[in-house]
Every structure is written in structure tokens, then in C-alpha cells.
Chain A
Amino acid sequence: MKKIVRKQQSAVHHWGRIGALRIHSFSVVSLFLLGFSCPLAWAQQLAISATTLHTVSSSGRIQDGVVLIENGKITQIGSAADITVPDGYERLTSDTITPGFIDAHSVVGLAGWYNVLADQDQDETTAPNHAELRAIDGFNPSEPLLAYLLQHGVTVIQAGPGRSNPIGGQAGIFKTHGSTVEAMTIRFPSAMIFTLGEVPKRTYGERKQTPMTRMGTAALIRQALLGAQSYAKQWQDYVSSADEASAQEASANDTSEDKDHKAPDRDLKKEALAAVVRGELPALFTVHREDDILTALRIAKEFNLTLLLDATTEGYLVVPEIQQAGVPVIVHPSMQRISSLETSNTSLENAAILADAGIRIALQSGFESYVPKTRIVLFEAAIAMVNGLGFERALRAITLDAAQILGIDARVGSLEAGKDADLVLFDGDPFEYTSHIQTVILNGQVVYQRPLASP
């Protein structure tokens, strides 16, 4: 009973939030509103049947399948013939169902759709090392672009600081629906954001500050990681000496005042990077050019980092090196705008070439500096699909493979019993341009329904 009350409250809260957006009739967001004016399922228990269920699990593609959902989780999934829907379940039907989509690297939530200083909180371009910055301190749950992503089936994003700094700060993984960042967080921090190539050196080079070359960027990052290593060691020494002392205390039962194991001063930058050099926090390197990709591999090897390659536009030119390093790649949007030298060689086949080599890939919406202000991984995956990736791998790249790369596959990424009930209901082939998303379900709640009104 308690739970039901809470759900109703969250519904009310959501209405209020949308009302506060101050939008005109007929806008994108009012379409979203229209969606909400349809009866929404706030049921605790849902049974959804579909002609085609893409489970993205060992169950593969189930024809005439059913998913049972209770308290936000999938409880059962299988063929309609094998599942008896218990009494009291609200029922939905659909042509095609996929897991909710995962955008493995975005800035939405930190970057708003107005693209004015007031709503841009992704780039703290005041110093090249901002490892201490936390995405959760700038993530706006009410950002309309989050609602827009949700309408296009994106239920999870990894969002973090932008690309202007060599060391940008800490990203988090969030659901795209919720009233507070705490309620939306799946994991924080999820990765430290590093950027090589044109953008950081342009940001600082124009001011005649370091870094103004690729050498400068690499040196700056190495210097910071070196500092983090010695910081980590200081703390490790302190902790082990403290442990030793307390062990001695315990054995000697000595309660004397000799507790002089002074903790080193905390340093937020070094503290955050210490987790990176200890290999606990993945280092996400956004890179485009082949030599930048290799620089990321070189630094990762030197400091034994848990590396996630990101964007990796010229990845198709250094396949053996990426393969050998055994790192996954969060591939740039297929249709990323070719607006710089380092993106000149963008290939629609990059994802397919990397995947052909056995490299695990996800897709990202990346960063957009102008119109449109974000990209949609569903659309990007469709283009990768028809350029060699194929249906199954394209779908995995924005569901299970993304979840595995981000380390959240225990919760999301496939339709399996025990996982979060994040589902997208389509009226046809999910990747076909002219198919529609009918319903989006996040944590077992219907959070979007396609408006019935025609133009």
C-alpha cells in the first residue's frame, strides 16, 4: 500500500515538472504532454505481449512472447504458450518489443537544449584538469532533452563533463526519467572523462595556455596520473600503517595515546584520479584520430588504467592495436557531423569493422555543439546496421553490449527475469525509419505513450 501511494506522488510530481517548462502549444514537449494525457499505466503488475520480443539474451528472439513485470522488475519472460498471466495484471500488447536503449556517452542533462551559458554545465573550461568535477552536481533531471531521449526509447545514459578539458571530470550513469539525480542514478562515478585531440588544445591554445599541442595534452594527463599514483600510495601507506598499528593495539590491548598516524591531506582532484590509477574507476578517453587512439592506449598501458575508448573515429585504421589492448569501444554516432579535421575520416562502417574484429562496441550520442543538440542512439544504430553491422549486433550495441561495457548488465540491457523493466514497444521493425515507438516503460512504469492525434 505504501508503495502505491509513493508512485502516485511521483506521477503528480512529474506533471508539475512538465507544467513548469512554460512551453507553447504544439511544441515537442507538449507532444510529450499529449502522451501523458493518455491513460498511463501505473500498475504494479504488467503483462505485455508482443508478436516479436527481442530479448537480447540467450532466449534470443521470441515470437508471440509475454513479459511479466512486477514492482519495476521483469519477473518472467517467454512464449505466450508457456506463461500464464496471473489475475490482476494490467495488459498491454505490442508488435515488437526491445530492451530500453543505452546511450553509452552523452552530455545531455548537463547540456541543455537552449545552448546558452545558462543551461550549459558540461564544460568547466577554466583549467585543463578538472578531475574533481562530478556530473551529479550539474545534472538537471528536468532538462527537456532527457524527455526527448526517453520518447525515442533511451532509458539509460552515461552523462558526464564535456570534451574541452584533457581531464574533464566524473561521469555517471542515469535513468532518463526521475525527479532527482539521486533517484535516477544507476552508478556514480562511472568513469573519468579524458579528451585528446583538437578540442582541448583549441580551448587552451587560443589563450596561449597549456595544452596547445597534442604533446601538451598527453604530458598534462601523465603528470596528473603520476601525481595521483603517489597520492594513492601515501594513502595506502597510511591505511596499512594504521591497520598495522590497530593490529598491534589489539594484540597489546594498548589503549595509550599513541595514535599518531596522521592522514594525508585530502585533495579532490588527486582523490578522484587515485581511483583511476588503482583501476577502480574506468578511464574514458574520447579520441578521433588514429594517433590519438594510440596515445590513449599508450597512457592506459603506462598507468595500467581500465580503459574505455570513446568516439574512436579512425578506429578502423588501428584495429589490430585496439584488438591487442582488449579494450571496448564506445563508437561515435554513425551520423556525427564532420565538422573538424579529426572527424574528417568518419566512416559509417566503423562500428561494423570494429565489431567484425571481435571488439565489443557500444554507441553514443556524444556531444553536439549546435542543432540538433543531441543525437538518438536508435537512429545511429540503424545507420550502423545497414552499413555492415547487421540487425542483431546493432541492437546489442545499444542494449546488452553497452550495459556490459558500462558494467551495469546485472540491472539493464536485456529482457530477463530480475532485470529492470525498461522496455520499448514498437509498431514494427525498431530500426525502420517509419516505425513508431508506441510506449516506453521505465522501471515498470509507462513513461511515454505515443499521442494518438494526427497532424
Chain B
Amino acid sequence: MKDFLARCLIFAILFIPWGVTEIAASEEPQMPVLEEKQVAALVLKGATLYTVTDGIVPNGILVVQDGKIVTVGPSSEVTVPDDAVVRDVSGKVILPGLVDTHSHLGVYPHPRVPANADGNETTGPVQSVVRALDAIYPSDPGIRMAQAGGITTANIMPGSGNAVGGQTAYVKLRGRTIEDMLIHKDGIQGGMKMANGENPKRAYASRKQTPATRMAVAALQRQLFIRAQNHQKKWDAYAEKKEEGEKAKPPDPDIALDPVIEILQGKRTVHFHTHRADDIMTAIRLAEEFQFPLVLQHVSEGYKVADEIARRNIPCSVIVLDAPGGKPEAIEMTLRNAAVLEKAGVKVAFHTDDPITDSRFFLRMAALAIRAGMSEAAALRALTIHAAEMLDLQDRIGSLEVGKDADLVVLSGPPFSVYSHVLETYIEGEKVFDRSRPSDIRYATGGFAVADRYPARQKTQ
């Protein structure tokens, strides 16, 4: 029966006079395929839709089929048959799933004991060889907490203890294995973490090893790119010989340099942890020398060099913290950083840096930036489409658009209000968090590990 209803619904959707009419007209023969898969459509009706790329739709309707958004628009303009199973979400708010451009979920899982800490391979300052994907623990309760915060996609990175921290992983926050989580795109599954400033000096200076200064951090990073260029030359020579029909032996594979070559080819993005204004400029200097795709991460003193960043169109993923301090390079942090960068014309995203901030409070971070002068529209883009662009995933995620992944957050109220709760989170059409489920609510409030010892409360919201 359910399948029958779903099919009726799908049929109806294919003929709705809005948005997808063209597809509907040209793809009518799709029906048998849908029958085969027997995937029920998800219809969310009545909510305020923050599409991000096409304004705010009050009393909207959103239809999900096969993990993708197939319809988004005003309820009045979308016809759903009377017998369709439609979820009424009137009065609620729907956002695209939030995108966290810098997280350590799974590499620093709960509970937080040294045995679980896999973020920093501080046995050598250049670790382009290590991959976050080899340390991500899919059962980390932190992942479920992030779902409770509305985050659906994350860039999971090694830490900042090394000049070159390792390969990052772009993941959907669902699944039992890292393979379920990874987002594959053109053979690349992430970026490269680099760091400058205090953190990469910390581990080695105390051992009287390099890098002990900012100069050495930059030198190590430059040296790595030179090595990769040299390695590339061997490949080029090999290719040349082969082309000329000569006998040639391919260079030995180098798993530390191959990902760096991908960077030089523009296929892999460097996510550069940097705080102080001079460190920001150092990262930019390197990017200009080696012409690599750069996303500045943290950018705490970005407000001091906003024009320099804007002039070069370098995207910035900023963190907003409740208070400054904790280390010298963070004392001049200000809640206004994102606002200043926005005004200068910089593309801004946010990140949790979980566990530095808790993924459950990601929306709150944007609200603090708004408190300090950022526009709501820019803050929303920062949590979604801008973040997606920084991971080069804007064709799949980051907005409520037909054809994109159905990664959704249902909120009880306005996105940046303290009174709003995340009610439901969907990844590719599958509900991964539901605040009304007893099994999920404790990931929102905390206390999941005490199970049924948690005291019963009258209200959960």
C-alpha cells in the first residue's frame, strides 16, 4: 500500500507545474526505474524553506526522491494528490544540511581519553603521507551529536601539530564504515591540512628539533612542494619517453608526494590552519609561489588583512569563539571577524573545529557572528553553500535546489534564535536525527552513555 501511495505521489510530482516540469516532460519513461527501486518519496509541507541560493520560501513544499531534492517551492504552486503521505511541518524551518569545513570528528572520538586521540602524528613535521580516513571512527558518538546540531557534511582533518598534517576527508556524517561516509569526487576524497603559527612549533621546539620557528614551518612546507615538483618531473620524463616509443620505467610510487602533486595540479585543496595576520600572509605567499588552491582556516586576525584576502579571492573558513585567548595567537580574536571579512567581500564559511567547539552549537556560532554585525544571509551561506564551495562540493550540497542531495535540517523556529532546536536532520533523504526519538534526544542534550539512568523529564524541548 505504501509503495502504491508513493508511486502515486511520484507520478503527481512528475507533473507538478513548478521547477521540474521540463524534467518531467522529458523523463516520463522514468517510471519503471522508480518502480524497480521502490523508494518512497519524502514530502515535507508547510515549512519556511531557506533555499540559500533562491531566497526564502514561506509555506513551502520540499519533495525528496531517491536521496535527491526533486521539488522545492511554495505549497500553493505544487500539487500533491489527496492520498499522498505528506508530512506537515507547518511553522517549522528547513535549511540545507550544514557543512562544517573543519572538524576532527572521529579522529578524536568520545570518550576523550588518550587512547582515542588520533589527530596529530607528531613524529615528524611533514605528514602528507597520513590520511584522516585511516583514523575516523564511524561509531564516534560525536558524529551523532553533530547530526543533532544539523551538520550533514564535514571536512575531517588531522590536527595542527604539524606543518603538514595530512590528508583530510570530505564525509557525509552517516554510515557504518568510512567508505559509507566518504564523498568521492574525481578520485579525490579530501584536501590537505597544513598549519603555521604556534601549533606546528609546539611539539618540535620543545625537543630541540625543527621547526622551532615560523621561518622553519614555511621552509618545510616549501621544501615539500619542491620535492613534489621534482617527483612530477620524473613522471613527465617517463610520459615523454613512452610517447616517443622508448622503453621506460615508471617512477616508484610515492604516497607522501602523490597527494602533493594533486595539490600542484589544482585537484586537492590546502586547508591552511592560520591565526595571526602575518601567518595568514605567509600562507598566501606560499599559495602564490606554488599556485595551489587554498582555503584559509581559522583566520583569527583576518580582519586586519581583509582587503589583502579579498583582493586575491581567497575563501576563509572562520571560527567564532565565545572569548579570546588560550594562546598568544588567539588573543586578538574578535566576534566581528566574520562581519569584517564579509564587508570586504571575502567568501566566508564557518567551522566547529570539533572538539574545540561542539558540533551541536554550529548554528549558534553563526548567530554570534550576526550579533557582531554579519548579515543573516551571509551567515546562512557561510554554513551551507560557501562551505560547500570550499570543499568543491557545491554541485551536490549546500542549498535546497532540485537535483542536489537531500541533506536537510528541520528547525523549530528561526535559524539563529537561541529558542530554536534542531528537530530533524536528513542525509540524502534518510532521517539520521529525530529529536522526538528517545534514542536520539540524548545526543542533543548529552547523557547518551548513562542510558536509562537518565532522569525522566516532562518536556524534552
Contact = CB atoms under 8 A, between A and B. Distances in A.
Q: Do A and B bind each other?
A: yes
B450 A370 contact: no
A351 to B, nearest CB: 12
B146 to A, nearest CB: 13
Nearest to A113: B325
Contacts of B334: 26-28, 31
Nearest to A380: B322
Which of B334, B340, B449 is packed against the most chain A CB atoms within 10 Å? B334
Contacts of A28: 324, 331-334
Given A113-B331, A432-B417, A344 B324 contact: no
A114 B416 contact: no
Which of A337, A338, A339, A435 is packed against the most chain B CB atoms within 10 Å? A338
B251 interface: no
A115 B454 contact: no
A204 interface: no
Per CB-CB distance, the 7 closest pairs between chain A and chain B, nearest first, are: A113-B325, A373-B325, A371-B326, A433-B367, A455-B339, A372-B323, A347-B447
A385 B110 contact: no
A373 B328 CA distance: 11
Interface stretch (B4-12, B16-24, B288-296, B369-377): B369-377
A145 B313 CA distance: 34
A411 B393 CA distance: 57
B459 A115 contact: no
A316 B371 contact: no
A145 B325 contact: yes
Contact of A433 (B321, B324, B416): B416
A317 interface: yes
Interface of B: 110-113, 303-304, 321-328, 330-334, 336, 339-340, 342-343, 355-356, 358, 361, 364, 367-368, 370-374, 416-419, 421, 444-447, 449-450, 453-455, 457, 459
Interface string A19-35: 00001111110010000
Contacts of A352: 457
A376 B417 contact: no
B367 A434 contact: yes
Query: For the complex, would chain B's binding face be called helix, strand, loop or mixed by DSSP majority?
Result: loop
A346 interface: yes
Contacts of A340: 112
Contacts of A116: 328
A346 B446 contact: yes
A319 B457 CA distance: 13
22 contacts: A26-B303, A28-B333, A28-B334, A31-B334, A113-B331, A114-B328, A144-B325, A148-B324, A337-B355, A338-B446, A344-B112, A369-B326, A370-B327, A370-B356, A371-B325, A372-B324, A372-B326, A373-B323, A387-B445, A431-B418, A432-B418, A433-B370
B358 A337 contact: yes
A372 B321 contact: yes
A353 interface: yes
Contacts of A25: 304
Contacts of B419: 386, 432
Contacts of B332: 23-24, 27-28
Interface in A33-87: none
Which of B330, B342, B418, B457 is packed against the most chain A CB atoms within 10 Å? B418
Interface string A332-364: 000101111100111111001100100000000
A368 interface: yes
A113 B416 contact: no
A259 B323 CA distance: 59
Contacts, number: 158
Contacts of A383: 361, 418
Contacts of A382: 418
Nearest to A348: B445
A255 interface: no
A454 interface: yes
B324 A373 contact: yes
A339 B355 contact: yes
Given A115-B326, A372-B322, A349 B110 contact: no
Contact of B323 (A337, A347, A376, A436): A376
Contacts of A374: 322-323, 325
A345 B112 CA distance: 11
A73 B217 CA distance: 56
Contacts of A338: 110, 112, 355, 358, 446
B158 to A, nearest CB: 18
Nearest to B447: A347
B110 A344 contact: yes
A349 B367 contact: no
A168 B446 CA distance: 29
B446 A455 contact: no
A375 interface: yes
Contacts of A335: 322, 358, 361
A434 B371 contact: yes
A455 B304 CA distance: 12
Contacts of B355: 337-339
A432 B336 CA distance: 17
Given A316-B455, A344-B110, A371 B417 contact: no
Nearest to B371: A434
A178 interface: no
Nearest to B334: A28
A347 B457 CA distance: 13
Given A317-B450, A347-B446, 12 more contacts: A27-B331, A145-B324, A317-B453, A335-B361, A353-B455, A369-B326, A370-B326, A372-B321, A382-B418, A383-B418, A433-B416, A455-B373
A379 B450 CA distance: 26
Contacts of B367: 433-434
Contact of A388 (B322, B361, B418, B457): B457
A28 B301 CA distance: 11
A434 B372 CA distance: 8
Given A27-B332, A28-B334, A115-B327, A455 B112 contact: no
Contacts of A341: 111-113
A64 to B, nearest CB: 25
A375 B370 contact: no
Contacts of A431: 418
Contacts of B343: 455
Contact of B356 (A114, A317, A371, A386): A371
A344 B449 contact: yes
A368 B323 CA distance: 11
A455 B336 contact: yes
A113 B326 contact: yes
A346 B110 CA distance: 12
Given A27-B332, A144-B331, A387-B445, A433 B326 contact: no
Nearest to B420: A386
A114 B333 CA distance: 12
Contact of B364 (A316, A356, A387, A433): A433
B416 A434 contact: yes
Given A370-B327, A376-B322, A24 B457 contact: no
Contacts of B356: 337, 370-371
A368 B326 CA distance: 8
A455 B110 CA distance: 38
B361 A316 contact: no
A339 B449 CA distance: 15
A374 B331 CA distance: 12
Nearest to A376: B322
A31 B322 CA distance: 15
Contact of A114 (B113, B321, B331): B331
Contacts of A339: 112, 355
A114 B111 contact: no
A373 B326 contact: yes
B322 to A, nearest CB: 5
A379 B321 CA distance: 12
A347 B112 contact: no
Nearest to A337: B355
